[in-house]
Amino acid sequence: MKTDTDTCRVTADRPLGTRCCLGGLEGVLADETARELADILQLLGHPVRLQILDILSRHGGQVCVCDLEAALPVKQPTISHHLRLLREAGMIGFERHGQWVYHFVLPEAVARVRERLMAGLGMLG
């Protein structure tokens, strides 16, 4: 198999360790943007976190952990862990009423995440 083009040379007799492509490949996705997108995708990449966001957004008010535990296939400590990650990412907030803590989606934060994802993924093609 012998092919030689302007950008790539694929030959059976190419010495080991030499590049087949002559260069000219550059991406437009900057390192910082790629890291930011990866962080967002990692945060949203867990099904329980997506389910929590879905439940909180559909119940526009406030939802207690015990309600989430009844609706999700995991126990309270796992739910609390995912809630903490979503809070740290700034996607949800909470209010304490006596001994109860109620969680809610921060719509402006979710809108910002959506915009970042759409812009970043739009760069990919």
The structure's pTM equals: 0.77
Per-residue confidence at 26, pLDDT binned at 50, 70, 90?
A: confident
The alpha-carbon radius of gyration of the chain (Å, integer) is 23
H or E element, residue 118 = helix 107-122
CB 29 within 8 A of CB 123: yes
Domains of the chain and any CATH numbers: 28-122 (1.10.10.10)
Q: How many angstroms separate the Cα of 109 from the Cα of each of 12, 78, 101?
A: 53, 23, 20
pLDDT tens digits along 52-101: 999 999 997 679 999 999 999 999 999 999 999 999 999 999 999 999 99
pLDDT given for residue 64 in this prediction: 94
- The pLDDT mean for the chain works out to 87
Please give the pLDDT value at position 37: 93
Taking Cα atoms as reference points, which of 96, 123, 115 lies closest to residue 40? 115
Inform me whether the pLDDT recorded for 50 exceeds 90. Answer: yes
- For the record, the structure tokens of 59 come out as 């119940």
pLDDT at 13 over 90: no
